[in-house]
């Protein structure tokens, strides 16, 4: 995901907006992305049982949740590369002011414009500055120079859920349930803000030092009042209405949760193909899950039932998208033993604790060549595209 995040972008920080753990800006002590892309091919951009109402998203105004600081590249010491992608890199950095570790996603503006990702890039910044949740990565600051865009985010040291899943082959039922429940809470929070995430997959779920998740990479996230229609996301995780280029709503995220649960329990997505052929893959997705195999060794009847309800081809009948919203998902028998209040407060011990040697330990991430990796950062020169990213402050006179 690191490589994919740099195409589109964790150390555990407190979740209060008034914490003093943000990277102090160069101008004042101001209280105040996933990392990237790899392993799979991605596209371009493209509402059950009545239960307690606590899971029904309450519409809230979309507004920044942290004071906006002014940051410069020289506020940080670059330690190493965490990932690379089509648009740039993600670096592990250390603040010169509070000595904490962060991840900085660096995007080359020329490449972003050339590949028509301006809207996605601006969406990522605007969505992340408006969210504050235990299971979602924090954006602490953002700025630009004549060549690059910079986004300062949490450093999440445990790496990607994808890596843990591939190392484990597949997860036991309780482990998959733990991660699915935390992802579900994150999605429900986003939907309550009117945000569709649109890129759920194990590569975009990071593991914090305490083993709890951080959903990252908001390059495809979008604030939507009702529906949208843009084709975007990961092929294996696309809902049939997205493939059919129909208007869709937040239910595509619940569909993707069904795919994620299947992949965690089985080791591969339900429509996985050894050879990439998107036309055949899309035909299978649109045909529906009726012919998907559910080996008893991997899937309990409750897990199978929830997956089928989340992968329902008719969005009006899909769990998470009916009258009671996420209540249908969280009240499903597969989640029966989950204490949602304790989980949301991170009071339940995670099933896997990353092996972290100390602060700044990035051993969970691959190594990348570092020669000349930062040579184009902070350069002053002509800029023909800076106006396309109006919310990114300039850090040097042009």
Give the annotated binding-site residues for ATP: 114
Nearest to 6 by CA among 61, 66, 85, 116: 85
d(Cα 129, Cα 164) in Å, to the nearest integer? Answer: 28
Which residue ranges make up the annotated binding site?
A: 114
* Torsion sign across C-alpha atoms 243, 216, 197, 385: negative
| Annotation says 199 is catalytic | yes
**What's the full length of the chain, in residues?**
398
Q: Considering Cα of 326, then 154, then 34, then 161, what sign does the dihedral take?
A: negative
**Catalytic position from the list 7, 75, 199, 236:** 199
Per-residue buried b or exposed e for 177-216, using 16+ beta carbons within 10 Å of the residue's own CB: bbbbbbbbbbbbbbbbbbbbbbbbbbbbbbbbbebbbbbb
193 SS3 class: coil
C-alpha distances in angstroms, 277 versus 202, 234, 293?
21, 13, 20
The strand pairing partners of 91, in sequence order, are 81, 104
For residue 284 the two structure tokens come to 């299978």
DSSP 267: S
Give the angle 217-67-131 at the CA atoms, nearest 5°.
35
Which of 201, 192, 244 minimizes the C-alpha distance to 220?
A: 201
HSE, CB side, 13 Å, CA atoms: give it for residue 237: 28
Q: E strands along the chain, which residues?
A: 76-84, 88-95, 101-108, 139-144, 148-154, 195-196, 205-207, 213-215, 222-223, 393-394
| CA atoms within a 13 Å half-sphere pointing along the CA-CB vector of 49 | 9
Catalytic residues: 199
């Amino acid at each position: 995901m690191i490589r994919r995040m740099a195409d589109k972008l964790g150390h555990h920080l407190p979740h209060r907006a008034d914490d003093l753990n943000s990277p102090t800006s160069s101008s004042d002590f101001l209280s105040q992305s996933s990392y990237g892309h790899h392993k799979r091919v991605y596209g371009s951009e493209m509402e059950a049982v009545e239960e307690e109402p606590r899971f029904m998203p309450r519409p809230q105004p979309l507004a920044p949740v942290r004071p906006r600081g002014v940051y410069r590249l020289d506020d940080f010491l670059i330690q190493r590369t965490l990932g690379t992608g089509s648009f740039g890199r993600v670096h592990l950095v250390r603040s010169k002011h509070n000595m904490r570790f962060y991840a900085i996603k660096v995007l080359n503006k020329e490449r972003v414009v050339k590949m028509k990702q301006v809207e996605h890039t601006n969406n990522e910044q605007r969505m992340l500055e408006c969210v504050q949740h235990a299971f979602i990565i924090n954006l602490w600051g953002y700025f630009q120079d004549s060549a690059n865009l910079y986004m300062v985010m949490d450093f999440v040291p445990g790496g990607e859920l994808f890596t843990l899943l591939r190392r484990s082959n597949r997860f036991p039922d309780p482990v998959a349930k733990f991660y699915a429940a935390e992802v579900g809470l994150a999605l429900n929070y986003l939907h309550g803000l009117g945000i569709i995430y649109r890129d759920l997959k194990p590569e975009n779920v990071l593991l914090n030092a305490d083993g709890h998740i951080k959903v990252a990479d908001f390059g495809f996230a979008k604030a939507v009042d009702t529906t949208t229609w843009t084709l975007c996301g990961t092929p294996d995780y696309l809902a049939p209405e997205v493939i059919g280029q129909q208007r869709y709503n937040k239910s595509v995220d619940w569909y993707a949760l069904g795919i994620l649960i299947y992949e965690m329990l089985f080791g591969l997505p339900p429509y996985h193909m050894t050879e990439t052929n998107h036309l055949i893959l899309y035909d299978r997705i649109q045909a529906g899950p009726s012919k998907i195999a559910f080996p008893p060794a991997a899937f309990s009847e409750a897990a199978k039932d929830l997956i089928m309800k989340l992968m329902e081809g008719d969005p009006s009948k899909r769990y998470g998208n009916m009258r009671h919203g996420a209540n249908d998902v969280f009240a499903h028998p597969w989640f029966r033993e989950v204490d949602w209040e304790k989980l949301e407060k991170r009071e339940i011990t995670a099933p896997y604790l990353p092996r972290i040697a100390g602060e700044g330990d990035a051993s969970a991430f691959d190594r990348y060549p570092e020669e000349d990796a930062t040579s184009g950062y902070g350069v002053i020169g002509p800029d023909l595209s800076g106006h396309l990213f109006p919310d990114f402050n300039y850090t040097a006179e042009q």
